[in-house]
């Protein structure tokens, strides 16, 4: 297939691209290479992709309407995987307009491109953050998610609603994937594991929010990629049993689906830190801080729908994933 990946210089996008390229797909990678975090790291990820003849990179901001429309006119895509977004819960408190531009305007441009060029499947990254104020665990796609706690979460919920409208109006198959705390080699520098590793190796205090009383469904990058590929290969179809009297948020009469992708094995933050200390052979200096605005104390994924639909559920143990990350970090940064 010819597959567009937006955010191709990103953590998940570059890892996904490699797997698709290795199985023989043609990948057109889109990224604007913004400076939200190290551009050098993004360029290093792209360098890995440039070795493949079936990879093409286009530097483009998805918020640029005409440029996106031209790309869809010039190239016919079998599937589009949207991973381009302004990420980060805390940053959305500081720079909300970045989220409007990338996560809403850019998303609309992609939907329009898919609609007019009749793309076979539009898959997009949502987030566990859409569960917001929900407290029933584990989080299920069938639960209502109308109480986001950050603009980032609200933008991801909006993406799900926008995609559904295009699935309904134009029969565009759309699948949204709610990622749960992705980590691993080539990860983002603003994520906890990256920050903790850097701080511990430099002998500096690491920020531990809610004084460590946090639980996360940490999901290893290879599991995320496997789940994404299986979903791409299986376009969303209408649910014939869907009822407007008892509306199911996870499905629709339209070709639309929502899936959680999480490890379904929640880990306490302090245990996560202890495993990292063991791998690094150093003890962390903890800076215990209160809960941050926009954060939630726990995320746990119900992945039964993903397993039933595509026959896969993430299962990489957190100690294995952290060990692989530390090995990569030491090699990449010569630390």
> 3-state SS string over 137-159?
CCECCCCCCCCCCCHHHHHHHHH
Distances (CA, A) of 264 to 43, 181, 191: 32, 11, 20
How far, in whole angstroms, is CA 206 from its chain's centroid? 24
Residue with tokens 């297939």: 1
Residues 232 and 257: beta-carbon distance below 8 Å: no
- Active-site residues, by number, are 152
Q: How far apart are CA 180 and CA 262, in angstroms?
A: 5
Q: How far apart are CA 265 and CA 195, in angstroms?
A: 22
CA pseudo-torsion sign 268, 271, 275, 280:
positive
């Amino acid at each position: 297939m010819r597959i567009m990946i937006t955010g191709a210089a990103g953590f998940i996008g570059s890892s996904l691209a490699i797997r698709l390229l290795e199985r023989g797909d043609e990948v057109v990678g889109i990224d604007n290479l913004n400076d939200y975090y190290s551009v050098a790291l993004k360029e290093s990820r792209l360098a890995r992709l440039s070795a493949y003849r079936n990879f093409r990179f286009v530097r483009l901001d998805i918020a640029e309407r005409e440029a996106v429309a031209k790309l869809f006119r010039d190239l016919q895509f079998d599937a589009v995987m949207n991973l381009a977004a302004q990420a980060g819960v805390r940053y959305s408190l500081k720079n909300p307009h970045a989220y409007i531009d990338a996560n809403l305007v850019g998303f609309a441009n992609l939907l329009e491109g898919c609609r007019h060029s009749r793309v076979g499947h539009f898959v997009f990254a949502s987030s566990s953050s859409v569960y917001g104020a929900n407290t029933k665990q584990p989080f299920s796609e069938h639960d209502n998610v109308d109480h986001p706690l950050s603009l980032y979460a609200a933008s991801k919920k909006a993406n799900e609603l926008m995609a559904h409208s295009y699935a309904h109006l134009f029969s565009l198959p759309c699948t949204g994937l709610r990622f749960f705390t992705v980590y691993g080699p080539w990860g983002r520098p603003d994520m906890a594991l990256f920050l903790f590793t850097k701080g511990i190796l430099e002998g500096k205090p690491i920020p531990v929010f809610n004084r460590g009383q946090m639980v996360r469904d940490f999901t290893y990058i290879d599991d995320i990629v496997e789940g994404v590929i299986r979903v791409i290969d299986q376009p969303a179809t209408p649910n014939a049993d869907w009822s407007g009297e008892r509306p199911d948020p996870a499905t629709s009469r339209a070709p639309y689906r929502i899936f959680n992708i999480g490890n379904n094995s929640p880990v306490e933050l302090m245990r996560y830190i202890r495993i990292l200390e063991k791998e690094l052979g150093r003890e962390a200096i903890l800076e215990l801080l209160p809960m941050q605005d926009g954060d939630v104390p726990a995320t746990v994924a119900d992945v039964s729908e993903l397993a039933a639909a595509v026959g896969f559920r993430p299962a990489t143990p957190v100690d294995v994933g952290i060990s692989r990350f530390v090995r990569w970090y030491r090699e990449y940064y010569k630390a």
